[in-house]
Amino acid sequence: MSKASSQMDVLQGTLDLLVMKTLAGLGSLHGYGIARRIEQVSEDLLALNQGTLYPALLRLEQQGWIKSEWGVSENNRRARFYSLTVTGNTQLETEISRWRRMSAAVNAIIADHGGAAGHGRQLR
């Protein structure tokens, strides 16, 4: 299977969590760095439409969860660097907890083999 066909889109609503977690782990990063890091950590499983990242970064900044400033990249280019704020850190904990509960619920439903059969009517 090719790499492109095995990639999955980032689930709707999880981009904020992924961005904040990446910034919490690596400190200050520019948009490209964030996108690359998400792909690397997911071992290229998550395909990020990289253009969608910037509206998300602006939204997070407007909510006060991240902040940004101009800086110089590793190849001496001007770039906008993002970092997590204190409020963002708290929000990240909330988002992680919410995700854990959600994924646990989905896993529980997937793992439930017999529940549905018990409620069904048997056909003769």
Partner 1 sequence: MRRLFDFKNRRALRARLDEEMAFHLDQLIAEHERRGMSLAAAKLEAKKQMGSSLRTQESYREQAGLPGIEELVRDLTLALRNLRRRPGYAGSMIGLLGLGLAASLTVFVLTDAMLRRDLAVPRPDELFLIGDEEGDPAMISRAAVERLAANLPNSRIAAYGGGNAGDHAARQSAGKKRERAISFRLRAPGDEDWADGRSVTLSRG
Q: Which stretch binds partner 1 (CB under 8 A): 8-16, 69-77, 102-110, 116-124?
A: 69-77
| 67 near partner 1 (CB under 8 A) | no
Binding mask 7-46 toward partner 1 (x if CB under 8 A, else -) reads -----------------------xxx--x-----------
Binds partner 1 by CB under 8 A, chosen from 13, 25, 27, 55:
55
Minimum distance of partner 1 from residue 3's CB (angstroms)? 12
Query: Please, what is the end-to-end C-alpha distance for the chain in angstroms?
Result: 44
Q: Does 69 bind partner 1 (CB under 8 A)?
A: no
Question: How far is it, in rounded angstroms, from Cα 66 to Cα 90?
Answer: 11
Q: Which positions lie near partner 1, rule CB under 8 A?
A: 30-32, 35, 49-52, 54-55, 58-59, 61-64, 73, 75, 77-80
